[in-house]
Structure 1
Amino acid sequence: MASVNMADVKRLREITAAGMMDCKKALEESEGDFDRAVELLRLKGAKDVGKRESRTASNGLVALKQDGDSSAALVEINCETDFVAKGERFQELAEQVVTHVLATKPADVAALLESSFDGKTVKEHLDTANAALGEKIEIRRFAVLEGGYIGAYMHKTDPALPPAVGVLVQLDKPNAEVAKDIAQHAAAMAPQYLKAESVPAEVVEKERKLFEEMTREEGKPEAAIGKIVEGRVNGWYKDFTLLQQAFVKDNKKSVGKYAEENGVEVLAFVRFKVGQA
């Protein structure tokens, strides 16, 4: 068996993103032939694609594509390790996918996977990356906003890694500073809904029942329970709806008030964080 140069192992890992031991074994099997070792790893990756289906892809990135000031897309694409997430090949795939999403605006992830670019379906592109990189690669979600004025903010939770948080904010008219401020606020404060009216009725009812149960357990007078519960529901809105959250740059006013003072209306927002609902 040929001795293995550790510098070649390292270079092979950088090129293929395969595990250190897999790289070492491939070089040993190829008797030091570097190109053959690359091919062996890719063949092994293709055979292992099915085995990865049950594995968890909890790392990855959020990719952004904008077309002027009134059209933008975000995509969350996942992998298993941060080593692959910061690799050039994975990031190129993410850029291709988000560009395709903005151009075609598929209905959902299933439709996206069946759509095609560069002669292959998106699913085939993912399978190819899966085989080459040796990890489960998947698209978790995407969003497209069109119309009005759209600002974006991308945040890196680790300087060595690609963006893990992405936010789009849609205003009714152009205001780059306000859009950026609100996008940065959303990145930090993680609102779940735009405003109280945006919250699904079943979600509000669930929270109301929970607050009612808590209030009764606290022994509050029966006549006061309704008012206390409504107060707590309103407090929940201030925590979880963008427009009612206290603005991070001035917590004496809400985000909605900040927008109003600057003569704009927030029409929609999207916030993705890798691995977060």
Structure 2
Amino acid sequence: MAKITAALIKELRDATGAGMMDVKKALTEAEGDVARAKEIIRAKGIQAAGKREGRKAQEGLIASTIADTADGQVAYAVELNSETDFVAKTPQFVEFGDEVVADVAKADVKTTEDVLKAASKSGTVNETIEEAGALFHEHVKLGQFARVAGPHVEIYAHHKSVELPPSIVAVIATDDAGASIAHEVALQISAMSPKWLRREDVPADVVETETRVATEKSQAEGKPEKIIPRIVEGRLNAFFKETVLLEQEYVKDTSKTIGDLFKTAGAQAVGFARLEVGKGDE
């Protein structure tokens, strides 16, 4: 049997918010496997682990821009973190964000790893970030990055308060016909935090985990064995409805889904991204 260490207990408590005894029981049942222990906690309904994992106490902003290309448009969004919102809301930090995203767009960076290597007036974006840390006397670092391309691209930047820079940026790429609804879809992405565009985009291991959790939860609730497959199917559909953009209810008209919105417009969704300050590990 795997040894249940204090470090494992702390890791699981921090990730789930569950009580000490529940955490110990889950780790024991999972033989020290933290990922499996999280599933056990979710299956028992102790708390909504999936919504609590990866929270960070980070401040900062998300800078974004759109570039026109021969094939359509490309949106770039970059998260830059500071230690305090006092620094994040200064005009100088906002200007720093605009400078970084402009360098990223000019280099047409495609991965987070390459953002730091992009050329800037300081030499590279990495050097620009290091200079910012010295200027603001805080630890400044690169967070999330997204690049979304398509015939038409729309960005919605959400400010949690009028004093603060954008803390959520939602990007949607559509075909040309989708331009008429792109802004509404960007608002939806910002508000409802979808993770995937289509059901087929959900990784197989995620579907497997959700199926297992739904099955164990149904069994724990004492549901008759013969109806559990139907219950699991319903719970999986609810999961897709929550996390898949085209299956989400349209927030302004819940009788429709976002997929219905695209069908009515005779349009297609190409891709999307949602960045929120401090949520990069969720």
Q: TM bucket by the smaller chain?
A: 0.7 to 0.9
Contact 2:149 2:271 in 1 (8 A): no
Equivalent position to 1:188, from 183, 191, 195: 191
2:186 is the alignment partner of 1:172: no
Aligned residue runs from structure 1 range 48-63, under 5 A:
58-63=58-63
Match of 2:201 in 1: 198
Match of 1:152 in 2: 155
2:139 is the alignment partner of 1:133: no
Structure 1, unaligned runs of 5 or more: 1-55
The normalised TM-score by structure 2 is 0.75
2:67 is the alignment partner of 1:64: no
Which deviates more, 261-270 or 69-78? 69-78
Structure-2 change in CA distance of 1:161 and 1:123 (3 Å): same
3-state SS of paired residue (1:144):
strand
Root-mean-square deviation over aligned CA pairs = 1.5
Q: Quote the Cα distance in structure 2 between the aligned partners of 1:236 and 1:186.
A: 16
Q: Quote the Cα distance in structure 2 between the aligned partners of 1:111 and 1:267.
A: 23
Shift of 1:199: 0.8
Match of 1:162 in 2: 165
Match of 1:73 in 2: 76
Following TM superposition, the consecutive aligned residue runs of length 4 or more in structure 1 with deviations greater than 3 angstroms are 174-177
3-state SS of paired residue (1:70):
strand
Match of 1:94 in 2: 97
Contact 1:57 1:137 in 2 (8 A): no
Shift of 1:109: 2.6
Shift of 1:118: 1.3
State which structure, 1 or 2, has the greater radius of gyration over its C-alpha atoms.
1
Match of 1:222 in 2: 225
Shift of 1:106: 2.7
The normalised TM-score by structure 1 is 0.77
Q: Quote the Cα distance in structure 1 between the aligned partners of 2:205 and 2:142.
A: 28
Shift of 1:174: 4.1
Deviations 1:187-221 (A, max 9, x none): 11111111211111111111111000001111112
Aligned residue runs from structure 1 range 205-216, under 5 A:
205-216=208-219
Q: Quote the Cα distance in structure 2 between the aligned partners of 1:225 and 1:57.
A: 40
Q: Quote the Cα distance in structure 2 between the aligned partners of 1:112 and 1:57.
A: 23
2:79 is the alignment partner of 1:83: no
3-state SS of paired residue (1:67):
strand
Q: Quote the Cα distance in structure 2 between the aligned partners of 1:147 and 1:241.
A: 19
Q: Quote the Cα distance in structure 2 between the aligned partners of 1:222 and 1:214.
A: 12
Instruction: Quote the sequence identity (%).
Output: 35
3-state SS of paired residue (2:181):
helix
Q: Quote the Cα distance in structure 2 between the aligned partners of 1:264 and 1:215.
A: 39
Q: Quote the Cα distance in structure 2 between the aligned partners of 1:109 and 1:70.
A: 19
Match of 2:52 in 1: none
Structure 2, unaligned runs of 5 or more: 1-55
Contact 2:178 2:269 in 1 (8 A): no
Q: Quote the Cα distance in structure 2 between the aligned partners of 1:244 and 1:232.
A: 14
3-state SS of paired residue (2:176):
coil
Aligned residue runs from structure 1 range 87-126, under 5 A:
87-126=90-129
